[in-house]
Structure 1
Amino acid sequence: MTQARASLPYRPPAPDPDELVCWPADFGTRFTLFCDVEEEFDWRASLSRDGWSTTAMSAFPDAHRRFAGLDMPLACMVDYAVAADPTAADYLASVRDDPRCAIGAQLHPWVTPPFEEAVTPFNSYAGNLPPSLEAAKIATLTDTIATRFGRPPVAYRAGRYGIGPDTLSVLAALGYRLDTSVRAAYDYRADGGPDFRAIGSSAYRRDRVIELPFTTVHTGMLRGRGASLYRRAAGFPHGPGVLVRLGLVQRVSLTPEDMPLRAALEAVTVAVGEGTRLLTFSFHSPSLAPGHTPYVRDAADLAAFWRWWDAMAERLVRLGVRSASLNEILNAAG
């Protein structure tokens, strides 16, 4: 069995100023929406190569119509379990045929061959795997998506944000143009994942690939020092929660999954006011059907999920923030 890397958690360095993407003036202020299209599994249990299904994919065509009605084109980051299942993949036909949507790739290494590693939390971050094994899994995923959907993906996301030191060079060699495996300001070292605390939400270029982090916004009275205050508070029991209750700092990602609507609306307003040019939103496809994620447990949660998106679409229109398809982003980035 292949051994994983024995190294410190990966800490990608903050981009140099000359690595940052300079968006053209006519690009305006935009947003894009990524969906992690994946199998459903028990989020409370240990990861496994077995015991998953893809039944929630049946909800995808209706979801695509609803997002299209909100002018929210989807960048669908499809993992191997869905791409290898003809029935599950067929539910993405409307997305494949929508010129404003895109099919990208998402790597869940524990369900993607070749299977040479033990299934552990550490190995679930693909960037922790030996370089040759990570590259082989990405190649398998890429080929499967290209065969199933008729074109190779050009955008990639490592499941669990599990990017590693060799990931971008592998992607560049396979023809990928954009990676979205970084979650700005988050730290996954607790079970062996990467540390993104040095990375902000701005897009940058590295190893011939555009890195587009998942947007993180600090809100509250002390938001100007939000990242450093949050890091310090995280070292104390309930520290971040105390900051939130006092209205000092809240760390917000742009997703309806465990992010309250009021906080997300404030975060978008703050980000636009501070000059952020491209906001990135995200959610998991199993949340489109009740009972598959801790975020959408029943019909009431699903209704709240859609209210979140309706209200967010209204706020984006009010702020003058337009949607951006993956192709529009790549063209604007040059």
Structure 2
Amino acid sequence: MASCSMLTPPSPDRTARFADDFAKRVLLTVDTEEEFDWDAPFRRDGYGLDHVEKLARFQTFCEEIEAHPVYLVDWPITQDKRAVEIIGEAVKRGKAEVGVQLHPWVNPPFDEEVTTFNSFAGNLPSDLEAAKLTGLRNAIEDAFGTAPIVYRAGRYGLGDSTADLLKASGISIDTSVRSLFDYSAQGGPDYTHHPLTPYWIDDERTLLELPVTSVYWGVLRQLGKSLHRAQRHVPTFFAGFSKLNLLERIALTPEGVTAEEAIRGIDIALDDGLPLLVLSFHSPSLAPGHTPYCRNEGDVEQLYDWFRQVYGYLGQRAVTSATLGDVLSSVKR
């Protein structure tokens, strides 16, 4: 049994505090992964990596807008020479960082049945979760020449044992918590009541959580968590509030969220005093036809335009890009 749980909201005394000169930073995380059919059952094979060559354009673009991407790579990415070359070169130049993203269904050892429930790594037996995590962590260090210090569970699938496994693997930052989202209907975690602000997972303050940023917008935003719980029983309940501009959940991602919506979310997060914004998206969206969000070249260009607008606005709000080193050196223990 883990000594600390990542599945329950932390107590207020776990809130992370940062040095005064750190506030108003942004961290760009990229779920860097294989291509697969999002509407089909999970499978160990049959995936693609054709979009990997598009990472070069994205990295160049990030440097132009002064973004500092953190590529959270999974097993198939570590086995792809092109991905290792493109990401590794940026990492060596200090223009990007690399971390761990565990997709258990494509990550050896393959000792579990491939199911939706088992797609959340935290649902696996702890020894199997540990074996997959350790193998991936070592593969990343071998491929990129640097030991990863940040983790994201694929599908945000933390478990009771994950915290201890991360600490044993030398991981000091987790960014698996997607605040305000609930995956329990599929057998995954419920993050409805997890905070948006960074917090310590353990009493020793050696494992830091950086939740993926999502906020509520609208006149009913203070009731957002309660209303989302009601949606479990009335699926169309929340949609009605969104259409009436009474309540909207805004995730800071270019996938399914417009730049205008994201900017509203940024304003809310900053005005509420959130010290660090964590953006995210999936690398297959960099090429058409691999995700529901980028079905054609026009959609891909819109994704790039989203980043232009969002980072332009972040600059207006005096928000600067953070590195993982910035975070760890500025957090108070």
Alignment TM class, shorter chain as reference? over 0.9
Pairing partner for 1:16 from 11, 14, 23: 11
In structure 1, distance between residues paired with 2:93 and 2:280: 19
**1:152 corresponds to 2:150:** no
What amino acid does structure 2 have at the position aligned with 1:216? Answer: S
How far the C-alpha of 1:71 sits from its partner, in A, is 1.0
On the 8 A contact 2:103/2:119 being kept in 1, the answer is yes
1:242 aligned partner: 240
In structure 1, distance between residues paired with 2:213 and 2:93: 25
1:52 aligned partner: 47
On the 8 A contact 2:87/2:96 being kept in 1, the answer is no
On the 8 A contact 1:61/1:94 being kept in 2, the answer is no
1:71 aligned partner: 66
Q: RMSD of aligned C-alpha atoms?
A: 1.3
Pairing partner for 2:229 from 228, 231, 240: 231
Q: 84-93 vs 32-41, which deviates more?
A: 84-93
In structure 1, distance between residues paired with 2:42 and 2:32: 17
What amino acid does structure 1 have at the position aligned with 2:219? Answer: M
SS in structure 2 of the partner of residue 32 of structure 1: strand
What amino acid does structure 2 have at the position aligned with 1:145? Answer: I
How far the C-alpha of 1:11 sits from its partner, in A, is 7.5
Pairing partner for 1:119 from 111, 114, 122: 114
On the 8 A contact 1:218/1:250 being kept in 2, the answer is yes
Q: 89-98 vs 299-308, which deviates more?
A: 89-98
How far the C-alpha of 1:233 sits from its partner, in A, is 3.7
How far the C-alpha of 1:261 sits from its partner, in A, is 2.1
In structure 1, distance between residues paired with 2:281 and 2:44: 22
**1:279 corresponds to 2:299:** no
Pairing partner for 2:258 from 246, 257, 260: 260
On the 8 A contact 2:63/2:95 being kept in 1, the answer is no
Pairing partner for 1:131 from 126, 132, 139: 126
1:177 aligned partner: 172
- Give aligned pairs, total: 325
On the 8 A contact 1:80/1:107 being kept in 2, the answer is yes
Q: Percent identity between the aligned chains?
A: 39
Q: Which string of whole-angstrom CA distances, capped at 9 and with x for unpartnered residues, describes residues 64-114 of structure 1?
A: 010111111001101011102223322213322231421101000001000
What amino acid does structure 2 have at the position aligned with 1:283? Answer: F
TM-score (structure 1 length as normaliser): 0.94
Gaps in structure 2 of 5+ consecutive residues: none
1:327 aligned partner: 325
Gaps in structure 1 of 5+ consecutive residues: 1-9
Q: Which string of whole-angstrom CA distances, capped at 9 and with x for unpartnered residues, describes residues 257-304 of structure 1?
A: 111222111111111111111110001111111111111110110111
What amino acid does structure 1 have at the position aligned with 2:150? Answer: A
**Stretches of 4+ moved more than 3 A in 1?**
none
1:307 aligned partner: 305
Q: 205-214 vs 222-231, which deviates more?
A: 222-231
